Amino acid sequence: MDGRPAIHGFASNDHGTAFMPDTVSEISTTRFAASHALPSGQGESQDSSSNRHPTVPAGRWTVASVDNGQTPSIAAATTTPIAVRCLSLDELDPQAIDSWSQLREGRPEFQSPFFSHRFAQAVQRARGDVQVAVASQRNRIVGVLPFHRRGRVAYPVGRFFNDAHQLITASDVTVDWIDLLRQLSLRSFDAHAMTGVNDRDRDRFRMRTVRSFACELGDDSRGYLKRLGRDHKTIGRQPQKTRKMQREVGTVRWELDCRDPAVLDQVIAWKRDQYRRTHILDLFKPDWTRRMIGDLHSDLGSNAADFGRCSSRGLLSVLWVDGRPAAGHFGMIESGRLHYWFPAYDPALGRYSPGTALFRGIIEAASDHGITMIDMGYGEQPYKRKQTDAVTEVSAGCISRCKVHRAYRFLERMVVHAAQSIPMKESVKRIVRATTPDAGIGKLR
């Protein structure tokens, strides 16, 4: 051997299967007619366990008017009534699903695969409890919000697995969350990574901002990798470790799109082992989480082999060493945007940093396969700062129409933040996880 790794080309397979549209279901609607917000806390409704919601007094949404094709103006807001329906995801008809996709077009804050109908569908198949609020004006759908309901609290579809959420609206619609919650008979919506939050709502609901990181690859991912290697030694020195792994373990190759479900199971097993070793909640403990990942991996949708044009789908990338998987990453990709979600590796090969080797391989091959961006998601993990060049913000907090509940949740978050900042927090975390291994599991229910 010459000491250089034998790098094989990435494999990309097309085993896509089409999914059938759902059927239409009749449901009652409520009319919206005003153009400014109700004071916080008004319109508090009674709790209901039903998925069908009674008619309530008119809410207040702002819908901008458009004159002669000009840009919509909030100042010229109309009071055209808006009808809102609450459906099970399975009740959406093909027209509603198409409208959902159209609302996302051209809106940067809605480009993450987590806003796709396909992601919500995978969650529905795994859990069966996804509801969708659909807002329409003159037979035109102007807003969509997929969510889970627990009592009078709503959560983003996919719960804590969802790294980007928001009410998906047309560009000419501004919605007041107080009215939306009242219409849905909800007290609050709990958000942990909400995109596109305006200053008014952020202040009103006392939401905190969290940084989110991404690799803007453009059409020259190899150039991006060279710059990244110069700026960060961890990335720049990885080829040396990879060549050493080649010499000491065996032939190294990368596979961008692995379709083997057994390999996916192995990656999940590695990730669960990592959670245990680092005293973190096992996100894959609930059965529905593994079913959801499996569904995203198996049902590829349209244009599956063309990552620059594909509909939202799962993507499993693998680093193989001596014919065995050494590291894997499962994420979601849609129209050239890869969400970096669950990386994991074989701990026995940890000294070679196989996870970093896989990450380099994905970037190196990205432009050849139409991948223009890698979204690393929210959170301040050190590796994200090393591997990315773009920073945005998402918001976290409790959007509630009850001021008391809003204040309580704000104080609750402050206590959690203080606990996370205490000295020796790792020791405390080990003790808590050892005594209560399911601490925090509620965010997955």
pLDDT digits (tens, 9 = 90+) for 174-189: 878 888 898 899 999 9
Q: Evaluate whether 170 touches 105 at the Cβ level (below 8 Å).
A: no
On the question of pLDDT at 435 being above 70, the answer is: yes
DSSP 3-state of 92: coil
The tokens of 93 are what?
């008809």
Nearest to 195 by CA among 214, 179, 211: 211
The tokens of 41 are what?
């806390």
pLDDT of residue 120: 98
pLDDT of residue 125: 98
Mean pLDDT of the chain: 82
Phi then psi for residue 405, to 5 deg, are -65, -40
Identify the residue with better confidence: 292 or 25: 292
pLDDT of residue 409: 79
Helix (H) or strand (E) holding 230: helix 221-231
On the question of pLDDT at 83 being above 90, the answer is: no
pLDDT of residue 430: 73
Instruction: Report, as an integer, the average pLDDT of 424-428.
Output: 69
What single-letter amino acid sits at 15? Answer: H
DSSP 3-state of 328: strand
Q: pLDDT tens digits, residue range 229-246?
A: 999 999 999 999 999 999
On the question of pLDDT at 307 being above 80, the answer is: yes
Instruction: Report, as an integer, the average pLDDT of 110-117.
Output: 97
pLDDT of residue 432: 72
Model confidence at 26, in pLDDT bands (50, 70, 90)? Answer: very low
Q: How far is CA 85 from the centre of its chain?
A: 24
Q: Which residues pair with 135 in a beta bridge?
A: 84, 143
The tokens of 381 are what?
């993990």
pLDDT of residue 61: 62
pLDDT of residue 420: 65
Does CATH place domain 213-393 in 3.40.50.12280? no
pLDDT of residue 404: 80
Q: What is the DSSP letter of 336?
A: T
On the question of pLDDT at 316 being above 80, the answer is: yes
Phi then psi for residue 350, to 5 deg, are -60, -30
* Pair type for strands 153-156 and 188-194: parallel
On the question of pLDDT at 42 being above 60, the answer is: no
Q: What is the DSSP letter of 21?
A: P
Spatial distance between the Cα atoms of 116 and 107, rounded to a whole number of angstroms: 13
Provide the whole-model pTM. Answer: 0.82
Helix (H) or strand (E) holding 387: helix 382-387
CA angle 306, 214, 233 (to 5 degrees): 110
Helix (H) or strand (E) holding 156: strand 153-156
pLDDT of residue 254: 97
Q: pLDDT tens digits, residue range 325-373?
A: 999 999 999 999 999 999 999 999 999 999 999 999 999 999 999 999 9
Instruction: Report, as an integer, the average pLDDT of 118-146.
Output: 94
Helix (H) or strand (E) holding 206: none
User: What proportion of the chain, given as a percentage, has pLDDT over 90?
Assistant: 61
On the question of pLDDT at 206 being above 80, the answer is: yes
pLDDT of residue 80: 66
Spatial distance between the Cα atoms of 319 and 4, rounded to a whole number of angstroms: 16
On the question of pLDDT at 113 being above 70, the answer is: yes
On the question of pLDDT at 34 being above 50, the answer is: no
